[in-house]
Amino acid sequence: MSLIDSHMLTAVRMACAAYYTPTSSDDLRDYLTKNGLTGIVQAHSAGNGASCQLVEFDDMDAVAIRGTEPNDISDLRHDADVWPTSVDSPFDAPGKVHRGFYEYAYRIYTYPLNSAGLTVEDLAHKAEKPVIITGHSLGAAAAVHIAAWAGEILQRRGKPLPSLYMVGCPNVANAEYCEYVNSRVAKAFSIVNHRDPVTLAPMLFSTIWP
């Protein structure tokens, strides 16, 4: 695993930008530009209890997922729902996962992000550029699942597997599921503050690397 790559800075900036709630695509574009990110906003949404941004850059498509908002009861409920569960949708997968993170990820993956009904799943079906999936905290946990699901589709299309960037990611699943994720992504990077307790919880699950 490489320590850094050409897309890491963009991925980290996008993970931070996912916390911004834009009033329009133009507003999000201007916000991203002010933060050193020049791209075409494909879709964004803060609806359905989940927030996600899809942005097209010259050399890649980026999916950025917002992490926990302390004042959002739905986010806190997802964080707290640590019950181990199996994954059978959108694809059957081995192992057990944190139920709250899985449900949050699935909601984002299938939720229409613009008036045309574009979803993250649709992006995987049509993407021609490399795809990166990124997020912070709860968003990073969701990114783990979404990267694997997008990887399933991209692999079937004969396209490059997505790259996964996790910023302050909590424990998402057991080792068996983590192996499945690793087989569906081109590379995975985890950026962690060693004093961040979020990255150690919940203790009953492994990290992304078994």
Q: Is the pLDDT at 55 greater than 90, yes or no?
A: yes
Q: Is the pLDDT at 107 greater than 60, yes or no?
A: yes
Asked if residue 33 is part of any domain, the answer here is no
Helix (H) or strand (E) holding 96, with range, is strand 93-98
Asked if residue 77 is part of any domain, the answer here is yes
- What value does the mean pLDDT take over residues 107-133? 90
| pLDDT grade for 41, boundaries at 50, 70 and 90 | very high
pLDDT for the residue 18? 93
Number of domains in the chain: 1
| Strand segments (E) across 47-203 | 52-56, 61-65, 84-87, 93-98, 131-136, 163-167, 187-191
pLDDT in tens, 17-32: 999 988 889 999 999 9
Q: Domain of 167?
A: 39-200
Asked if residue 169 is part of any domain, the answer here is yes
Q: What's the first-to-final CA gap in the chain, in angstroms?
A: 14
Length of the chain: 210
The whole-angstrom separation of Cα 83 and Cα 97 is 8
Asked if residue 12 is part of any domain, the answer here is no
pLDDT in tens, 135-166: 999 999 999 999 999 999 999 999 999 999 99
Asked if residue 52 is part of any domain, the answer here is yes
Asked if residue 177 is part of any domain, the answer here is yes
Asked if residue 10 is part of any domain, the answer here is no
Q: What is the mean pLDDT of the chain?
A: 86
Q: Is the pLDDT at 193 greater than 70, yes or no?
A: no
**Total-model pTM:** 0.88
| pLDDT grade for 72, boundaries at 50, 70 and 90 | confident
Asked if residue 5 is part of any domain, the answer here is no
CATH code (residue 53): 3.40.50.1820
| pLDDT grade for 93, boundaries at 50, 70 and 90 | very high
pLDDT in tens, 194-209: 665 454 555 455 554 4
The whole-angstrom separation of Cα 142 and Cα 148 is 10
